[in-house]
């Protein structure tokens, strides 16, 4: 843009004075300045009885023009009636300027359009001497000076006998430094508004050199003057700033040093072209002193400088334009990419029905291509309307949506399609064409047919199920049910299909299962559960629901199949079995309680029998003869045996009742084994059975219930001695196994069959009744062993060979995972304490 703020101007312009025959050329900045200037220009003409034409862009501007002219002493209405004034609206300006930008560079073509005809008619009507008219000059690919010259030629050709005083209007932003040179050289009288007044723009009549410098420095573009060999002769301050040199450094430089990728050969070609045409315009990247590059539009023309032919080179920074162009290209590329990637056919059309851009799917489907007219009518896109010979240029200005059967140009067969059209309306409500979407519905229709087939198959499947069954879609809506479901729910099929569970059951129940069913379909989960259901007759039914998810053609087509099995009778039977089980358990608990109570009642007098027999054997109250001593010993042995049986029965009963607790303490395993051996040594001595022990050296102590460990060892070792033959051998081994202790007792007795391994640990079980009679016992010893080992978190098992012996092994942790208590003295019944009390009473009686 030309910087004309520093120009020297004359005094205020008077539009009533003589106007040059070629007219005035005004440079304006804002639209308000232009309107003000035209109003003053037209008023002055009317005051001098001249005919005037005011060209305005639209009807709103026409009203504004009338108002401006009415605010004066002139009778505007009378002037218009007498055909002295004509305000003409150029309503077709934009269309004409778009269609013919290269013809004249002005708003309109004199040979086209109603406003233009109206201008010609007004000019030729009547007898007048002078006419004033305002004409806007715009840049449409030609220099403004060329447009002015051509416009004057058109005026002269159309009205050779008339005297026209035109007012040519140019926007200041459209003027470049080169065009200022052109206008000055052409002798144009330029007027501008400065300090609130319109004045002539005039360069001071100084030396030619001064004039050049003034023009050079007033330009906002970079200006270089170089000779025909490329040496810089002159440069303005803008050029120096752009290239990064002082003026003295710029002068004398070769032009190739200021441009990138230019060689002397190319420079010579440019000079030759300048000699032929007189001017040469091109774009080039200019090289700055710091090595950076700035894009410029270069306009070269031949001039005379200091008496020699030289080149005036005007460079305009086009960085912003390059960025804009790049952004536009990127936008167009993205726009094109969106079109190409669009899954269906898509096209953009102008308002005449010509395809601007479309993708391959659109071309294949419709047979229409870019830069061609659309070959079917959007308002009636039927098969009959599609012809190669006829195209439909009229696009509707309203949206269109329709389903059609279209003959595809690619496959030459009927294809179901959906066409959607949306008009494009600009911000000023102008129709600019539209967008067409064409969707091939072949796959959609195929899926619809598959869905119908799937639905029908599901209905048949549901009807064939003997139990009540139903089918729901992913939204929880019933799509099928059978007779069994109708009977169970007391509803007809027509009252179920198309509805949800919310329409059938109570809200509190329905909401729970409705949400659950939707989640099942969504996540494709099957589920089986039991629930209660009230039948229409009021009876309650227990129902087992089996729900399965069937995947459809797409995720949206997945359905839920439900099968309802009435388990009311089974539940009733289970309830009876549960009641019977509870009764049996209650009877068992009563039995156990009775045994505990009876054991206590039996043990109390038995303690006295044992105590007094031992007291007699000690001969504290007097000596016994051999016969008395033998009877007393039999009483003591029988009592102790009976006491052991009662104690075992009591322990088993307590275990069944859950009344046995462990009292943890530090247990010396070698010491306990030795103690048990010592207790049972009389029994082993009777049968001449040797007991050997093999204890791992590192095995010392564990945390356990000492009493229970002793009883475990006692019961197993007692059985080993009991079931071993005379002169036999029993081996005890103990070793560490990681965090556990493993103790095994091996005998050479009668052995056990493998089928009886589990039975030997059951209460009151003897493998052979004959053995029971020979060896005695009630079958509680090993049962207690198993219970006590398991209480410690351990395990017991047996390996045996019939006739060759058995090995009983148990393994318990060295430390319990959750100790109930440690180092607690157990509160237990001490038979010794009872005996001591009885002995004390006897002594008191003797004394």
Most confident of 120-124, 393-397, 781-785: 781-785
The answer to whether residues 615 and 621 touch, using CB atoms and an 8 Å cutoff, is: yes
**Angle, in degrees to the nearest 10, between helices 144-158 and 177-185:** 40
Tokens 């139990």, residue located: 467
Residues 395, 354: Cα–Cα separation, whole Å: 10
Select from 219, 220, 250, 252 the least CA-distant residue to 235. 250
The answer to whether residues 556 and 477 touch, using CB atoms and an 8 Å cutoff, is: no
842 or 732: which carries more pLDDT confidence? 732
Structure tokens at 238: 């803008």
- The total of other beta-carbon atoms located within 10 Å of residue 730's CB is 23
pLDDT per position as a tens digit, 352-372: 888 888 888 888 877 788 888
Beta bridge partners of 316: 297
What residues contact 782, with CB distance under 8 A and at least 6 apart?
A: 715, 716, 719, 760, 761, 808
761: DSSP letter: G
Place 521 in a pLDDT band, splitting at 50, 70 and 90.
Answer: confident
pLDDT at position 153 over 60: yes
Q: In sequence order, what DSSP letters do the residues of 58-86 get, joined into one string?
A: SHHHHHHHHHHHHSSSS-HHHHHHTTSEE
CA distances from 190 to 4, 9, 168, 172, 693 (A): 11, 10, 10, 11, 133
Place 405 in a pLDDT band, splitting at 50, 70 and 90.
Answer: low
pLDDT per position as a tens digit, 296-332: 988 888 888 888 888 888 888 888 888 888 888 888 8
Most confident of 303-307, 620-624, 702-706: 702-706
pLDDT at position 104 over 50: no
Residues 362, 348: Cα–Cα separation, whole Å: 11
Place 459 in a pLDDT band, splitting at 50, 70 and 90.
Answer: confident
Structure tokens at 336: 């094109």
pLDDT at position 828 over 70: no
Residues 200, 677: Cα–Cα separation, whole Å: 139
* Angle subtended at Cα 364 by Cα 359 and Cα 365, rounded to the nearest 5 degrees: 100
pLDDT per position as a tens digit, 261-291: 777 778 888 888 888 887 788 888 888 888 8
pLDDT at position 61 over 50: yes
pLDDT per position as a tens digit, 664-680: 999 999 999 998 898 88
Place 141 in a pLDDT band, splitting at 50, 70 and 90.
Answer: low
114 or 101: which carries more pLDDT confidence? 114
Structure tokens at 202: 């005039």
Check residue 208 and give its pLDDT. Answer: 53
Residues 245, 484: Cα–Cα separation, whole Å: 99
pLDDT at position 624 over 90: no
pLDDT at position 839 over 60: no
pLDDT at position 771 over 80: no
Query: CA 107, 113, 115, 118 torsion: positive or negative?
Result: positive
Exposure letters 492-518 (e unless 16+ CB within 10 A, then b): eeeebeeebbeeebeeebbeebbeebb
Calculate the average pLDDT of the chain: 78
pLDDT at position 455 over 70: yes
Beta bridge partners of 446: none
CA distances from 392 to 404, 462, 494 (A): 18, 54, 50
SS (H, E, C) 290-328: CCCEEEEEEEEEEEEECCEEEEEEEEEECHHHHHHHHHH
The answer to whether residues 771 and 750 touch, using CB atoms and an 8 Å cutoff, is: yes
Pairing label, strands 163-171, 24-28: parallel
Select from 719, 722, 721, 596 the least CA-distant residue to 652. 596
Per DSSP, the chain holds a count of helices (H) and strands (E) of 23, 30
Tokens 């005996």, residue located: 835
Place 379 in a pLDDT band, splitting at 50, 70 and 90.
Answer: low
Check residue 769 and give its pLDDT. Answer: 52
Q: Indicate the burial class of 709 (C-beta count within 10 angstroms; 0-12, 13-18, 19 or more).
A: buried
pLDDT at position 3 over 50: no
pLDDT per position as a tens digit, 715-726: 899 889 988 888
Check residue 640 and give its pLDDT. Answer: 74
Listed as own residue / partner, the contacts of 782-786 with beta carbons closer than 8 Å and 24 or more positions apart are: 782/715, 782/716, 782/719, 782/808, 783/652, 784/648, 784/651, 784/652, 784/655, 784/711, 784/712, 784/715, 785/711, 785/712, 785/715, 785/716, 785/761, 785/810, 786/761
pLDDT at position 60 over 60: yes
Place 394 in a pLDDT band, splitting at 50, 70 and 90.
Answer: low
Check residue 403 and give its pLDDT. Answer: 64
Residues 478, 497: Cα–Cα separation, whole Å: 5
Q: In sequence order, what DSSP letters do the residues of 188-208 get, joined into one string?
A: --EEEEETTEEEEE------H
Check residue 734 and give its pLDDT. Answer: 94
Structure tokens at 137: 């000059």
Structure tokens at 538: 């009021």
Check residue 406 and give its pLDDT. Answer: 56
Residue 151, phi then psi, degrees to nearest 5:
-65, -40
Mean pLDDT of 535-547: 82
Residues 86, 125: Cα–Cα separation, whole Å: 12
Check residue 410 and give its pLDDT. Answer: 52
Mean pLDDT of 203-223: 65
pLDDT per position as a tens digit, 490-519: 888 888 898 888 888 888 778 888 888 888
Residues 161, 157: Cα–Cα separation, whole Å: 9
Structure tokens at 163: 């005297």
pLDDT at position 744 over 90: yes
């Amino acid at each position: 843009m030309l910087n004309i703020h520093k120009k020297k101007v004359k005094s205020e312009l008077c539009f009533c004075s003589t106007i040059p025959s070629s007219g005035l050329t005004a440079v304006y900045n804002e639209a308000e300045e232009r309107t003000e200037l035209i109003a003053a220009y037209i008023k002055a003409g009317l005051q001098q009885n001249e005919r005037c034409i005011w060209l305005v862009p639209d009807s709103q501007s026409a009203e504004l023009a009338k108002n401006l002219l009415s605010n004066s002493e002139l009778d505007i209405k009378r002037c218009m009636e007498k055909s002295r004034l004509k305000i003409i609206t150029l309503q077709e300006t934009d269309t004409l300027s778009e269609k013919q930008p290269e013809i004249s560079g002005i708003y309109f073509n004199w040979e086209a359009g109603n406003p233009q005809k109206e201008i010609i008619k007004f000019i030729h009507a009547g007898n007048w001497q002078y006419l004033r008219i305002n004409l806007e000059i715009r840049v449409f690919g030609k220099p403004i000076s060329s447009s002015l010259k051509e416009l004057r030629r058109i005026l002269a050709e159309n009205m050779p006998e008339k005297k026209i005083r035109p007012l040519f209007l140019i926007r200041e932003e459209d003027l470049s430094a080169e065009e200022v040179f052109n206008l000055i050289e052409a002798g144009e009288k330029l007027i501008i508004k400065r300090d609130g007044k319109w004045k002539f723009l005039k360069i001071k009549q100084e030396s030619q050199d001064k004039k050049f410098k003034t023009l050079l420095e007033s330009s906002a573009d970079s200006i270089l003057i170089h000779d025909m060999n490329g040496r810089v002769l002159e440069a303005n301050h803008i050029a120096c700033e752009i290239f990064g040199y002082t003026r003295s450094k710029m002068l004398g430089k070769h032009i190739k040093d200021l441009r990138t990728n230019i060689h002397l050969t190319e420079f010579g070609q440019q000079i030759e072209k300048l000699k032929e045409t007189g001017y040469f315009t091109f774009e080039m990247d200019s090289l700055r002193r710091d090595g950076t590059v700035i894009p410029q539009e270069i306009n070269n023309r031949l001039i005379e400088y200091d008496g020699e032919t030289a080149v005036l080179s005007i460079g305009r920074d086009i960085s912003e334009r390059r960025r804009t162009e790049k952004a536009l290209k990127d936008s167009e590329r993205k726009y094109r990419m969106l079109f190409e990637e669009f899954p269906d056919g898509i096209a953009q059309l102008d308002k005449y029905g010509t395809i601007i851009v479309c993708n391959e799917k659109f071309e294949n489907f419709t047979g229409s291509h870019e830069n061609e007219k659309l070959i079917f009518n959007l308002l009636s896109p039927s098969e009959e309307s599609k012809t190669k010979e006829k195209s439909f240029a009229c696009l509707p200005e309203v949206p269109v949506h329709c389903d059609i059967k279209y003959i595809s140009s690619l496959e030459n067969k009927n294809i179901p399609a959906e066409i959607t059209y949306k008009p494009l309306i600009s911000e000023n409500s102008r129709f600019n064409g539209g967008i067409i979407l064409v969707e091939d519905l072949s796959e959609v229709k195929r899926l619809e047919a598959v869905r119908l087939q799937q639905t029908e198959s599901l209905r048949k499947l549901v009807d064939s199920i003997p139990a009540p069954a139903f089918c729901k879609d992913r939204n929880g809506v019933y799509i099928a049910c059978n007779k069994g479901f109708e009977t169970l729910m007391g509803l007809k099929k027509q009252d179920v299909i198309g509805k949800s569970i919310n329409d059938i059951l109570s809200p509190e129940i329905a909401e729970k299962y409705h949400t659950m069913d939707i989640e099942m379909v969504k996540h494709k989960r099957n589920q089986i559960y039991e629930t209660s259901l009230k039948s229409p007759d009021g009876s309650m039914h227990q129902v087992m629901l089996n729900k399965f998810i069937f995947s459809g053609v797409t995720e949206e087509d997945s359905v839920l199949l439900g099968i309802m099995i009435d388990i009311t009778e089974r539940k009733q039977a289970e309830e009876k079995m549960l009641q019977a089980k509870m009764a049996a358990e209650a009877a068992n608990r009563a039995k156990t309680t009775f045994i505990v109570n009876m054991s206590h009642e039996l043990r109390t007098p038995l303690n006295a029998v044992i105590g007094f027999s031992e007291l007699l054997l000690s001969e504290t109250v007097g000596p016994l003869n051999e016969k008395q001593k033998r009877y007393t010993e039999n009483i003591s042995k029988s009592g102790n045996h009976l006491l052991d049986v009662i104690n075992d029965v009591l322990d088993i009963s307590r275990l069944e009742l859950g009344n046995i607790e462990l009292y943890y303490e530090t247990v010396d395993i070698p010491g306990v084994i030795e103690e048990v051996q010592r207790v049972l040594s009389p029994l082993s001595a009777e049968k001449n059975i040797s007991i050997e022990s093999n204890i791992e050296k590192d095995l010392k102590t564990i945390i356990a219930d000492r009493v229970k460990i002793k009883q475990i060892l006692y019961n197993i070792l007692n059985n080993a001695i009991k079931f071993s033959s005379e002169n036999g051998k029993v081996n005890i081994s103990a070793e560490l196994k990681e965090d556990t202790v493993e103790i095994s007792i091996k005998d050479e007795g009668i052995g056990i069959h493998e089928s009886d391994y589990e039975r030997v640990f059951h209460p009151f079980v003897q493998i052979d009744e004959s053995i029971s009679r020979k060896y005695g016992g009630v079958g509680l010893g090993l049962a207690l062993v198993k219970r006590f080992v398991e209480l410690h978190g351990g395990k017991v098992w047996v390996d045996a060979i019939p006739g060759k012996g058995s090995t009983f092994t148990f393994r318990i942790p060295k430390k319990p995972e959750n100790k109930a208590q440690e180092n607690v003295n157990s509160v237990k019944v001490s038979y010794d304490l009872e005996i001591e009390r009885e002995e004390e009473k006897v002594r008191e009686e003797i004394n």
